[in-house]
């Protein structure tokens, strides 16, 4: 009888502790989370509680060195802003599909500065993030863009994971071969392909598809036992599934260190007007960028396909000059999304991007994304060695 009573008391104590534990997790008020570490812990708790609403991360590249300048830009695009210590909460009223009236439901995300990175976090679905944040703000505003990831960097990351982690799996991936892609393939090189695969042998299957069909991965789901499960998308989205969120942040940092050379290159490209009033002369200091194609050559036969890809990505071609034979192209390009203009010229195996008035780094970075994603994923970029110095009478 005494043992029975003792057992009842123990069970009652366990139930009390469990209730108290659940209450503690639910009572994690967001307004008490003021820094990066507590925010990451908050996301890990939320992921354990509600696995269906997965958190996504987008790394932002910007010329804004101070946080308040980013806040000012967000305000111009009608975002509601709330500060919680170092965390900036942004929100925007959603629109109903059937009309233009605003819904009571809010789109919500959070921006934190981590070391030299601006990171955007949200557990909204990806379509809403694209609609309300990427397309509505990042894709339009000047001096900001997301960190897209070249396919060859995703491939190098896979090789590093395979070497560094014994318990490493690719559980799902999406891969493709584009119309103008000349990546080596053993079967039907001219066929455009888009494939999706799910299975625990994803790593081996991806290697086989790359070898035989010349495809490149652009979305990959990783599972590293005892560390983290996550997704990487070449369009700059990272999805956290489970495990140590800090591990994913370290991966984002590693990728940024690989991509930052391209970002710095676009920032070094410039168009500057220097006015000298005393001699009534204007000097134009212009630094172009050179793209070296590796698997692609622009010619008369593929020029229409090339311009069609540009137009689909929001680049309008006008005032075009083409010489037949070995192609010599010179054309102006309008970035419809960023409201900017620049010039491109090409002799086939290379392409020169020349900034024009008010061309910012994000327009050039966006154009390089289009080249990498749809034209030549092996292309390389460098500053053009002969910058332009033009002297004009004012």
Fold of the domain spanning 269-393:
3.60.90
Task: Parse the chain into domains and list their residue ranges.
Answer: 30-146, 151-258, 269-393
> Residue 8 above 60 pLDDT?
no
**pLDDT grade, residue 33 (50/70/90)?**
low
> Residue 239 above 60 pLDDT?
yes
Q: What is the pTM of this model?
A: 0.83
How far is it, in rounded angstroms, from Cα 373 to Cα 326?
25
CATH of 30-146, one of 3.30.350, 3.30.310, 3.30.2320, 3.40.1280: 3.30.310
pLDDT tens across 313-337, in order?
A: 999 998 777 766 657 888 999 999 9
Percent of the chain whose predicted confidence (pLDDT) is above 70: 82
Percent of the chain whose predicted confidence (pLDDT) is above 90: 54
3-state secondary structure labels for all residues of the chain: CHHHHHHHHHHHHHHHHHHHHHHHHHCCCHHHCCCHHHHHHHHHHHHHHCCCCCEEEEEEEECCCCHHHHHHHHHHCCCEEEEECCEEEEEEEEECCCCCCEEEEEEEEEEEEECCEEEEEECCCHHHHHHHHHHHHHCCCCCEEECCCCHHHHHHHHHHHHHHCCCEEEEEEEEEECCCCCCCCCCCCCCCEEEEEECCCHHHHHHHHHHHHCCEEEEEEEEECCCEEEEEECCCEEEEEEECHHHHHHHHHHHHHHHHHHHHHHHHCEEEEEEEHHHCEEEEEEECEEEECCCCCCCCCCHHHHHHHHHHCCEEEEEEEEECCCCEEEEEEEECCCCEEEEEEECCCEEEEEECCCCCHHHHHHHHHHHHHHHCCCCEEEECCCCEEEEEEC
Mean pLDDT (the chain, rounded): 84
How far is it, in rounded angstroms, from Cα 63 to Cα 265?
13
pLDDT tens across 182-231, in order?
A: 777 788 877 888 999 999 999 999 999 999 988 999 999 999 999 999 99
With contact defined as beta carbons under 8 Å apart, do 232 and 220 qualify?
A: yes
Same CATH topology for 30-146 and 269-393: the answer is no
């Amino acid at each position: 009888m005494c043992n029975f009573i003792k057992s009842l008391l123990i069970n009652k104590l366990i139930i009390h502790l469990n209730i108290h534990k659940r209450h503690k997790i639910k009572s994690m008020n967001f307004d008490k989370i003021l820094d990066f570490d507590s925010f990451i812990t908050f996301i890990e708790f939320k992921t354990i509680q509600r696995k269906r609403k997965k958190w996504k991360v987008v790394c932002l590249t910007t010329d804004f060195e101070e946080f308040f300048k980013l806040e000012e830009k967000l305000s111009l695009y009608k975002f509601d802003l709330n500060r919680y210590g170092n965390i900036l909460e942004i929100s925007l009223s959603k629109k109903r599909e059937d009309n233009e009236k605003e819904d009571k439901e809010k789109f919500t995300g959070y921006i934190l500065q981590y070391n030299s990175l601006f990171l955007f976090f949200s557990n909204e679905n990806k379509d809403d993030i694209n609609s309300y944040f990427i397309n509505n703000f990042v894709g339009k505003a000047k001096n900001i863009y997301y960190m897209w990831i070249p396919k060859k960097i995703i491939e190098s990351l896979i090789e590093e994971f395979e070497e560094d982690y014994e318990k490493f799996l690719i559980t799902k991936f999406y891969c493709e071969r584009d119309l103008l892609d000349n990546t080596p393939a053993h079967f039907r090189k001219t066929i455009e392909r888009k494939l999706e695969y799910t299975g625990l042998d994803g790593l081996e299957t991806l290697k086989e598809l790359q070898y035989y069909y010349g495809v490149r991965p652009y979305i990959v789901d990783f599972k590293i036992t005892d560390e983290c499960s996550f997704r990487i998308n070449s369009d700059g989205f990272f999805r956290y599934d489970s495990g140590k969120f800090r591990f994913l942040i370290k991966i984002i940092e590693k990728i940024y260190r690989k991509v930052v050379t391209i970002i710095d290159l676009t920032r070094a490209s410039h168009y500057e007007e220097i006015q000298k009033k005393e001699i009534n002369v204007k000097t134009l200091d212009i630094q172009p960028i050179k793209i070296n194609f590796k698997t692609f050559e622009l010619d008369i036969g593929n020029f229409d396909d090339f311009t069609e890809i540009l137009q689909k990505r929001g680049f309008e071609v006008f005032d075009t000059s083409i010489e037949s034979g070995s192609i010599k192209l010179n054309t102006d390009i309008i970035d419809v999304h960023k409201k900017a203009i620049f010039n491109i010229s090409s002799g086939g195996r290379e392409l020169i991007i020349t900034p024009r008035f008010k061309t910012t780094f994000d327009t050039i970075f966006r154009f390089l994304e289009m080249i990498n994603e749809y034209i030549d994923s092996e292309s390389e970029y460098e500053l053009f060695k002969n910058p332009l110095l033009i002297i004009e009478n004012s």
